[in-house]
Amino acid sequence: MILKTKTGWGLLFLVLMTGCEDVFEKNISSEQVILLTPPDSLVSTIVLQNFWWKEVPDADFYKLQIASPSFIHIRQLIADTTLYGNKFNCSLLPGTYEWRVKAANFGYETPFTINRLIIDSTSDISHQP
């Protein structure tokens, strides 16, 4: 729309929020990722672990990290990946791990949610997939 003012011609751009909803990202920074499996402090003899969490509304992707033995005392970073779904499979050697996930879109991100996991070093591997 062009308006005539006392000082001359000017342009006025009107942005209708209903038509531009896709341009603006939802602020998800106060949301929390709910980790489903493996549950916190699980002790397992299964080396192939399925990591799974609830999807966060308005998230476009997730950042997953797995460290050993913990994120405070990292000896090894096993995974540091961006995923567009809410599942990840990974084989882990016996040991202690922490895994964490945060959700993000192209404007905001949630804090990480962390779980601990122990892969037991038992010699019985008869139940491995």
- Architecture of the domain spanning 22-119: Sandwich (2.60)
Q: What pTM does this model have?
A: 0.77
Contacts of 20 (CB under 8 A, 6+ apart): none
User: What is the β-pairing status of strands 113-119 and 42-44?
Assistant: parallel
Q: What is the pLDDT along the chain (129 residues), one digit of tens a residue?
A: 444 455 554 433 333 444 454 568 999 999 999 999 999 999 999 999 999 999 999 999 999 999 999 999 999 999 999 999 999 999 999 999 999 999 999 999 999 999 999 999 875 555 555
Residue 61, Cβ neighbours under 10 Å: how many?
Answer: 14
Coil vs helix vs strand at 64: strand
Query: CA of 6: how far to CAs of 11, 106, 125, in Å?
Result: 14, 42, 85
d(CA 38, CA 51): 6
